[in-house]
Every structure is written in structure tokens, then in C-alpha cells.
Amino acid sequence: MTPLSLPIPLAWYYAGSASEFSARPTEVSLPGRNVVIYRGQSGSLHAVQSHCPHMNSPLSKAQVRGDGLKCSLHHWVYNNQGVCSGIPGAKSHEIPSFACLEKYSIVERHGHVFVHTAPVTQQQLPLFADEDPSDYACARVRLLSGQNHWSVATANAFDLAHFEYIHQRRPTATPRMNATQPDARGVRLHYEIHGKALADRLLVRRYGHQAQLDYTVWHGNLIFAVTRVGEFVNRMMVFVHPTATGFDAKLFVFTPKTHSPWKKLSREISAYFSYQFFARECLELEGVAIDPARLGPKDQLLAQYVAWLMQRSIKDATQSPAQWADRPGESIKTPSPLLSQYPSHDADG
């Protein structure tokens, strides 16, 4: 068997809680890249390369100047665009062209911070399309990990055959791949729930057997899963971070903003059950590997997903920053029925 081997996606990753970042620059290790995050004097967050292009001094030791940084070692100053604007004792025309920091797209949303690891700014972080998405808040973030290749985790919902045997969910229609966005692949599944686990029994008793899952993966590592069972809706977002031994996953569950303590509690309960579901999935996936040459007659959807993953990873590896900036799929100008983006806002308020 030749398991799938792919480079780490240049993609959105979870950097941490917004409260972790201040005017003190902080180095964050993301898959494939370390960045330094700081809050400028305007209040906005910035993500830049982790070390100074002059003599590699860690920029986590730098001082914030306006919305830029002053390196601690020789006091070169970088402005809010990452461009060196001053070297002590030197004239502006003497500033070398290499004196420039790589900047990364950074988004602060729902009290959390997300960074895109492609070396260009202005990438947009996708999210769910709901009636009015800015009305949503998220539960406490849950963290999981798995020991197999990261792509196995994101490919899971395209592996239709396992739904019945692992999740006791019987498909009632043949799904098709949603390929309307170049940097995302999605699928809508209709199924009946037959599980005997507590969460399934509670769901079925209250809302019935019929369910629908809208599952979308952006960039190969960012999952949006919206499950509908009758009136019940569960909105889950999962960042899958490749690691040396497998993957880490950061799981968010959203419900509408509310002042009701009961609804806030039910959001946390939904997040708890989602976490349990995902944790069981991670155990089931232990040792699982995907070899594109060994997929079977019921694996067409999975084969399509894997083909897209391989093709986009080649594109990531070969594109220059300028080409990245031009990628139409990144700007999400025409949201599909399943996807949209929404503006920054805090938790319930």
C-alpha cells in the first residue's frame, strides 16, 4: 500500500484565543510555518515572519511601533506593511530591498485568532452561510488529536461506505460532489439515524430519524459540517493541523447568540456531543490510510476528493505569492449555497 503523501496545506489555521495576543509580540507555531503575532497601536492584529531578515533575531523580542515592529537587536523598524522604514544612522535610500517582513492574513473572530500560512495578505476566512451569520457565537474550543495522516480526517465524510457501519447512518440518496469553489469541496448527505448511543437516541426521540449533513472542506484542512435533524441544527467548524505524528483538530460549535443561560448551556452540550462524536471517529481512524490506487467501487466520491486534494497541493507548492494573491477561490466572491463568510464579532452580546 502507498498511503497518500501530501505537503502541508497553505491554509487557514487556528492561532489561539484573542486574549493571548497583545502588544507583546508572540511566536506561534503553525503547520509548516512559525509566525509572530502582535496587536498594533490601532488595536488590529498582525502576523509576520518569526525572525528578522537582517540577522535572524526573533521578532518575538521586538517592540511594537505604531502598527509595525522595531527589532530588538539593531532597531530596524518595519511598518504595518512589513516594509523596513528606518535603520538607525542610515538614510532611507540605503535600506536594502531584503529588509521586508512576510505578512500573513490574520482574522480575529468570535474571540479567537486565525492565520493563513500563504505569504500574502487579504485572504478571507470562510464560514457558514446562515440566515444572519453575524448572530452566531461559539462554544468553548475542544482539542483532539489523531495518529494518522491529516487528510484521512478531512476525507471522512466523502467515505460514504463507513457511515452505515461506524455511525449507524443509512444514506437515503446518492450524493454528488459540490465543486463550485476552486479551493473547497463539499457534499450534502441525506440519511436515517439508527444509532443506539445516547446522543442518537435523544436526537431521534425528539426530532426523528431523517437527517441531512452539509460537509465542506476548504484548502484540505478546514471542515464545516452542518447537521440538520428536524428542527435541530448543529454547526461545527474544525481546523485540522498536520503534526509530525498525525494531526491535531480544533473543534468549534456555533449556535445563535443568546442571553439565555439555558441556550448557552445547550450550546456547550452540543459542543460536548460533537467532541465525543469526533473523538470516537479519531479512534476508529487509527491506522487507516488512503491509497488512491486501492479505492473500491463504492469510493467514487472519496476518489474525487483525493484527486482534488492532490491537485491543489501541487498548485500550493508551485504558486508564487503573486499568483496566490490572484486566486479567485480565496476571495469567495460568489458563495455557494453552503458557504459564506461573516464579519468579526465577539461572543454573545
Residue ranges in contact with ligand FES by CB under 6 A: 52, 54-55, 57, 71, 73-74, 76
The distance of closest approach from Cβ of residue 29 to ligand FES in the complex, given in angstroms and rounded to an integer, is: 21
Residues 198-217 that bind Fe ion (CB under 5 A): none
Which residue, 57 or 340, is less far from ligand FES as judged by CB?
57
Amino acid at 265: L
Q: Is residue 16 within 8 Å of residue 114, measured between CB atoms?
A: no
Residues 268/258, Cβ–Cβ less than 8 Å: no
| Residue 184 binds: one of ligand FES, Fe ion, none (C-beta under 5 to 8 A by kind) | none
Tell me which H or E stretch contains 223.
Answer: strand 222-229
Q: Which is nearer to Fe ion, 110 or 169 (CB)?
A: 169
Cell of 148: 494518522
**Binding partner of residue 15 among ligand FES, Fe ion, none, CB cut-off 5 to 8 Å per kind:** none
Comparing CB distances to ligand FES, the nearer of 51 and 315 is 51
| The one among 156, 227, 274, 313 contacting Fe ion by CB under 5 A | 156
CB of 96 or CB of 182, closer to ligand FES: 96
Q: Which is nearer to ligand FES, 54 or 345 (CB)?
A: 54
CA 102 to chain centre: 21
Does position 221 interact with Fe ion (CB under 5 A)? The reply is: no
Which residue from 240, 246, 234, 241 is spatially nearest to 272, judged by alpha carbons?
234
Closest distance between ligand FES and the C-beta of residue 30, in Å?
A: 22
* Binder of residue 156, out of Fe ion, ligand FES, none (CB less than 5 to 8 A by kind): Fe ion
Instruction: Quote the least distance from Cβ 81 to ligand FES, whole Å.
Output: 17
On whether the CB atoms of residues 144 and 279 are closer than 8 A, the answer is yes
Instruction: Give me 174's grid cell.
Output: 446518492
Q: Min. distance of Cβ 52 from ligand FES in angstroms?
A: 3
Q: Choose from ligand FES, Fe ion, none: what does 74 bind? Cβ within 5-8 Å by kind.
A: ligand FES
User: What gap in Å lies between CA 129 and CA 329, rounded to an integer?
Assistant: 16
Secondary structure element (H or E) that encloses residue 52, with its range: none
Nearer of residues 21 and 158 to Fe ion, judged by Cβ: 158
What does 73 bind: ligand FES, Fe ion, none (CB cut-off 5 to 8 Å by kind)? ligand FES
Q: Ramachandran region of residue 230, left (φ > 0), alpha (ψ -120 to 50) or beta?
A: left
d(CA 321, CA 226): 33
CA dist., res. 116 & res. 99, Å (int): 22
Could you tell me which residues are beta bridge partners of residue 249?
144, 240
Cell of 273: 456531543
Return d(Cα 43, Cα 262) in angstroms, integer.
Answer: 33
Task: Report which residue type is found at 306.
Answer: V
Closest distance of CB 63 from ligand FES, Å:
12
Look at residue 158 and give the partner it binds from Fe ion, ligand FES, none, a contact being a CB closer than 5 to 8 Å depending on partner kind. none
Q: 55 or 173, CB closer to ligand FES? A: 55
Strand-by-strand arrangement of the 103-104 sheet: 26-30, 33-39, 45-49, 103-104
Cα–Cα distance for residue pair 305/300, rounded to 1 Å: 9
3-state class (DSSP) for residue 100: strand
For residue 53, the minimal CB distance to ligand FES (Å) is 8
Give the binding range for Fe ion (CB under 5 A) out of 79-87, 139-147, 256-264, 273-281. Answer: 273-281
Which residue lies nearer to Fe ion by CB, 61 or 162? 162
Q: Minimum distance between the CB of residue 280 and Fe ion, rounded to whole angstroms?
A: 9
For Fe ion, the binding residues (CB under 5 A) are 156, 281
